Structure formats: C-alpha cells, structure tokens
Structure 1
Amino acid sequence: MNNQQTEKEKQAKERELKKLRSLANTKEEPATTLDEMKIIKDINYQLMEALFAYESLDERDQQITPYLIEETKNNMTRCKSDYDQNDTSSLLLSSEAFFAKLFNSNEINVINYVVSELTFNKEAQKQHMYVKVKYVKDTGQWQAKSFNFSKYVEG
C-alpha cells in the first residue's frame, strides 16, 4: 500500500510539473512599459483638453482629429447635430484620469472624471461627467477608438 501511495504521489507531481511547464511556455502579451503609460497619460490629457476646451464645435472637431482613429472620426462626423451650434463653447475646469486594467499591449481603457463649463446661447452650465476612452495602438501610436460619456449629477 505504501508503494501504491508513493506511485500516485509521483504521478500527481509529474502532472503538476507538466502543467507548470506548459504555463511557462505560453507566451504572454508584454506589459505596457512605464514610458508608454506616460505617453498614454499625456495623449489622454490632450484629448480631454481638445474635447472640453474650445471656442466652437468646429474648433473642437479640428482639435480632436489627431487623437482619433479614422473610423471614430467618421462616426463622429455622421452623428453631428442638425441644429446650429455656432454659439457653443466650453472651458475645462478639471480632469482626473484612472487607468483600467490592461488586457493586452495594444489596448487600454482610461476613465476620466471631467468638470467643465459649457456655454450655449450665452448661458453657462457647469458639467461633471465621466468619460471612458478606449485607446488602441494600431498604427504605432495610441489613438482613441471609442468614447462613453456619462453625466454625473451631484446629489
């Protein structure tokens, strides 16, 4: 019985060792470097500036263009409102960014808490919102693929 038990333990250890070797041989995506995180942080800050600090919507559209992938630019152009928004401006009051967990080295989500002052038809309104931006690295540089805006109402 002692011999059988020893043989079972030996087989269990061999299975565990085989599993560990298999895990060690799998290739993982390289983690985003600290330098790349700094680049994403800078790009994200510049994008929030472009989205929330402008004198006209045309100016905003020109400012955000370098930060967006082509598909996202086209979607934003198609979704423009029909009514006149020439008298619209915005001032960025504050912005905080929180990086979400990385799933691979070519994609990252950043959650932004933004406070801005939107002026429309000479009426200013302070806004608090969360902006989730999905960044991708398709062309060798980080660009925004999608946005998700959620207005935050203070209670």
Structure 2
Amino acid sequence: YLSEHGFTFGGTLIGNPRWNDKDERGSLPVNNLKGWSAYVTAVVKHVNGRIKRWEIWNEPPNFTGKDQTPADYAKIVIAAHDAAKAVDPDCKIGLAAKSVHIHYLEQVIQAGGRDHFDFITLHPYEVLNGIVDNAGTESVFMHIVPTLRKMLAIQNPAKADVPVIFT
C-alpha cells in the first residue's frame, strides 16, 4: 500500500532472540554471528524485495551491552550486510547511531565497517528539542550532515556522499 502511494520505507534489523544463549539479552549478538546472519537472511528472504532499506540496530550504542564497543557493532553490520546482500543484492544497508554520535560512526568505520553500508541514519532528537526550546540555534541542526560528510571524506572518501536519513 505505501509503495503504491509513493512512500519508501525500510526495516530495522535488531534484537537478540531468545534462542541466542551466547549473548546477554539487550546486547549485540557478537558471540553468535552465525545465528545473527541466519536471522538477517530469513527476514530479508521473507520480505522478498518489498523492503529495500535496512537499518542495522536502533541508535547504537543505545540498546547494546554495557561493555560493547563500536568494533562489536561493526561485526554485526558486516555480518548483516553480507547476509542481506546474498539474498537481495539490490538492498541497501544503513549504519545507525544515536542522536548525532558521529565519533561512534567513525569508530565503526575504522573497526571494519567502512565498505559495509549504503546510507547512514541518525536520530537527532536531543538537538532538535534544543532548537525548539532555544530560538537561534538552528545552525547546530543544519551542521549535522556537513560534519558527518567531513568525517566520511577522511575515513572513506568513497562513502562521503551516501544518503543521510533522519529517522
């Protein structure tokens, strides 16, 4: 229905299912990448091309384990990218970060995620709320994407112009 009316939409690949007894609930499934890959494969296969954009996790480092790192997130991004693209080579994979946590994304890229994403999602609620409450601070919000692109140009010039989506 949505696509018939010109809307594009995506899915979020997240979660540590009950069958994964190798990782704590509420953490990245880094100790069961085989199971995570099987989950991603099954979900992407199930939607049969109806969803083309996949955000990997929701607002990391939120909703990850207490001691988990950007390198841990990079592991699940790489596994999800490879699994999803094996099923649907045309799908797009998105890196995610809470608010405007650009340094976290930089660390994910440095930890191996550099060639395993097609877009980036950010959730800049805190910044937007601050702008609403403090007239004249709009420039902070408007500098999010240029700041992100500057980091990408340094870390991986081939990805400097990937789409940036605020969700």
TM bin (shorter chain) = under 0.3
Q: Flag the structure with higher strand content.
A: 1
Q: Flag the structure with higher helix content.
A: 2
After TM superposition, the score normalised by the length of structure 1 is: 0.24
| Higher-Rg member (1/2) | 1
